[in-house]
């Protein structure tokens, strides 16, 4: 049986700016699903983020987009360790993103986050299931 894939669709103001930003964070894009309206950012083997220019995104729904400064979703992205969490947040800041909060250490989970140039929130985390509380 084929495993399902997930495609998160995000509206962006400037596709080239978004590609530059996420490339600086180390992400790659599938050229088969890239044109002037959209690109497929590769998260993993079965996970992708479709960055769609706003008019193209809007063609998929009659609902209005949230105005700037409003949150529509938080995209959580796991990393292999705490250093990788801090590294991607530092790359996001250097590439023009906004760090949205100080890092939080829950013992079993370490998290930090940023907003991309279109104000989409990304929560970056590392979970150590061996340290997860059992009670």
- What are the tens digits of pLDDT across the range 78-112? 999 999 999 999 999 999 999 998 999 998 999 99
* pLDDT for residue 134 is more than 90: no
- Domain limits, the chain: 1-63, 66-135
Fold topology of 1-63: 2,3-Dihydroxybiphenyl 1,2-Dioxygenase; domain 1 (3.10.180)
Fold equal for 1-63 and 66-135: yes
Cβ atoms within 10 Å of 134's Cβ, excluding its own: 3
Backbone angles phi, psi at 25, to 5 degrees: -85, -5
Distance between start and end Cα atoms, the chain: 36
Name every residue whose Cβ is closer than 8 Å to that of residue 112 and which is 6 or more positions away in sequence. 85, 86, 89, 99, 101, 102, 103, 104, 123, 124, 125
Fold topology of 66-135: 2,3-Dihydroxybiphenyl 1,2-Dioxygenase; domain 1 (3.10.180)
């Amino acid at each position: 049986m084929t495993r399902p894939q997930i495609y998160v669709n995000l509206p962006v103001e400037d596709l080239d700016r978004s590609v530059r930003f996420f490339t600086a964070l180390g992400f790659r894009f599938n050229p088969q699903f890239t044109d002037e309206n959209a690109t497929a950012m590769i998260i993993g083997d079965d996970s992708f983020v479709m960055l769609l220019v706003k008019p193209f995104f809007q063609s998929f729904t009659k609902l209005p987009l949230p105005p700037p400064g409003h949150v529509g979703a938080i995209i959580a992205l796991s990393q292999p360790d705490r250093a990788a969490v801090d590294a991607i947040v530092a790359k996001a800041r250097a590439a023009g993103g906004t760090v949205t909060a100080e890092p939080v250490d829950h013992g079993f989970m370490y998290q930090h986050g940023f907003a991309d140039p279109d104000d989409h929130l990304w929560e970056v985390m590392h979970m150590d299931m061996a340290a997860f509380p059992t009670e």
